[in-house]
Amino acid sequence: MSKIVVITSGKGGVGKTTTAASFAAGLAKRGHKTAVIDFDVGLRNLDLVLGCERRVVFDFVNVITGDARLHQALIKDKRLDNLMILPASQTRDKDALTAEGVEQVLGELREQFDYIICDSPAGIERGAHLASYYADDAIVVTNPEVSSVRDSDRVLGLLASRTRRAEQGEDPVCEHLLLTRYDPHRVTKGEMLSVDDVCEILAIELLGVIPESTDVLNASNAGVPVILDEGADAGRAYDDAVARYLGEERPHRFIHAERKGLFGRMFGG
C-alpha cells in the first residue's frame, strides 16, 4: 500500500525542499521505491537540490497535459536506484496544475511506488492546496520563529479541513512536526523558541529536530541531499527522522547545547 506524504509549511524558506530531498533519499536508501514531486510550478528547485537539473526533459505539467508520458518525465537519481524525481514546470501559467491531472498522475505513481513525496510550494494557493489535497501523511516543516510557527498552525487547520481525507470523512491526514534550523545555544540563552515551546503551541507529534548547520548549504551547493552526508549533524538528524517515520524508536539528538566548561565560557570566543 503506497503512501502520499506532503512536505508543507505555509511560510517560505524554512526548508521544505531540503526536507523533501533528504526525506525521499532516506526512504529510497532504506529500499523503499520512492518518487518525489516538485509542486512549485514556475519556481522549480527540487532538481537543483537533488543535482539532476541538467537531466530535466519533461515535467509534471507536460504529463498532465498529455505532452509526455509519466515514465518520460521521471528522472532516475544517479546515486539511489529506488529514487525518482518529477520536476515542476517552469510555466508562468498559474492554472497549469489541475485537480484531475494531479489525481491521475498520483494514481499512476501509486501503482509503482511505495512512497510519493510531494514538495509543496510556500503559501496557501493552488499549488500548495493540490500538493496537500491527496496526502495521507503531512510533514510540517517549522522554524523556531514566530512567523513560521503561526503559518504552520494555519497549515494544520487547512490539512484538517481542505484535504480529500477531510472532505470524504476518512481518517485525518497524519501530521508530523519537523523543526528545522534549530540552534540549541540560542535556545539556552533564551533567544529562540525551544522544541518544547513549539510542540506545546502546535500540539502535534514531533518527528525530528534538524540543527542549524553549514552542512545544509554545502549539500545544496553540491546538489546532494544532506541526508547522504553521514558526517553532518543535519544529515544524521534527517536519518533519525526517516527512521522514526518508519516506526523505529530513536532518541532526539542535537537539541541540547554542548556545555562549554567554565574556563571556555569565560575566556573562549
Residue ranges that bind another protein, judged by CB under 8 A: 145-146, 149-150, 153-154, 157, 160-161, 166, 187-194, 197, 201, 203, 265-269
Least distance between another protein and beta carbon 192 (Å): 6
Q: How far apart are CA 171 and CA 59, in angstroms?
A: 32
Which are the contacts of 131, defined by CB distance < 8 A and separation ≥ 6?
Answer: 6, 8, 37, 39, 118, 119, 120, 121
Least distance between another protein and beta carbon 201 (Å): 5
CB nearer to another protein: give 67 or 197: 197
CB nearer to another protein: give 95 or 171: 171
Which are the contacts of 66, defined by CB distance < 8 A and separation ≥ 6?
Answer: none
CB nearer to another protein: give 66 or 268: 268
Least distance between another protein and beta carbon 23 (Å): 23
Least distance between another protein and beta carbon 126 (Å): 19
CB nearer to another protein: give 48 or 201: 201
CA triple 122-200-247, angle to 5 deg: 75
Q: How far apart are CA 118 and CA 128, in angstroms?
A: 10
User: Can you point out the beta strands (E) in 24-112?
Assistant: 34-38, 75-76, 83-86
Least distance between another protein and beta carbon 210 (Å): 19
Strand order across the 34-38 sheet: 75-76, 83-86, 34-38, 115-119, 3-8, 137-142, 174-182, 205-211
Least distance between another protein and beta carbon 143 (Å): 12
CB nearer to another protein: give 66 or 269: 269
Least distance between another protein and beta carbon 94 (Å): 25
Widest CA span of the chain, in angstroms?
Answer: 67
Residue 59: closest CA among 94, 96, 32, 13: 96
Helix/strand/coil percentages in the chain, nearest 5: 45, 15, 40
CB nearer to another protein: give 20 or 198: 198
CB nearer to another protein: give 141 or 192: 192
